Amino acid sequence: NRPHVLYLMVSDNESRWSEEEALYCINNYLSPGVWWIEDEAARWGVELCFGGSYYLGTGDGYCHYDGILNDCDAGGNGDILEKVTVSMGFANKEEFYRMTQNWTGSEDVVIVVVPNKPGRSYAFMDGVNDEYDYMEHCVVFGQSKYVAGGVYPACPATTAHEILHCFGAEDYYYQDS
């Protein structure tokens, strides 16, 4: 069973993804981060091939949170994944995660929540029902707004960095950076 990455392209009352923007971001910024992880695994003699898909939501075709998301919503009562999945009609994020596991046929699903706005990206692991079953997800914000009101997507390195946290990698920064 190969791991699966699900890009959850999230809109809110302040910013919205068009399908064209979402696909551009996935193909040019998010997926290259995953491909880099696969290439690095191969370099170390490990066969790793992620499945991948994206979800733009229901109704009008977009995953929409009726409110405003920001990077202060990390964890606890402000959990972005919980807010978004409940707004999509699920009882909670655990129900969404189980549905995603069934739909993808993979027990190892990493949900990458991607708001169309700048902010600080992070990874988060939640226990699901017991301490040995985890729901890994990360939130990848864009880098900054540009003049036309859109957002520069996060670079592929940010995507790889946050996904690797979901697999247990710790932060490692060089002293000079």
Mean pLDDT by 10 residues, the chain (177 residues): 87 83 89 94 93 69 72 60 86 90 90 86 71 72 65 82 87 69
Question: Measuring CA to CA, which residue among 166, 138, 142 is closest to residue 154?
Answer: 142
pLDDT of residue 58: 44
CB-based burial, 86-102: b 16+ in 10 Å, e otherwise: bbbebeebbebbeebbe
Query: Which are the contacts of 87, defined by CB distance < 8 A and separation ≥ 6?
Result: 64, 65, 66, 67
Choose among 164, 109, 115: nearest CA to 139: 115
pLDDT of residue 166: 85
DSSP 8-state class, residue 76: G
**Per-residue pLDDT, 76:** 45
The structure's pTM equals: 0.84
For residue 174, the model assigns a pLDDT of: 67
Residue labelled with tokens 């919205």: 16
Pairing of strands 51-55, 122-128: unpaired
Note the residue count of the chain. Answer: 177
Q: How far apart are CA 103 and CA 124, in angstroms?
A: 22
DSSP string, 49-63: --EEEEE--BTTTBE
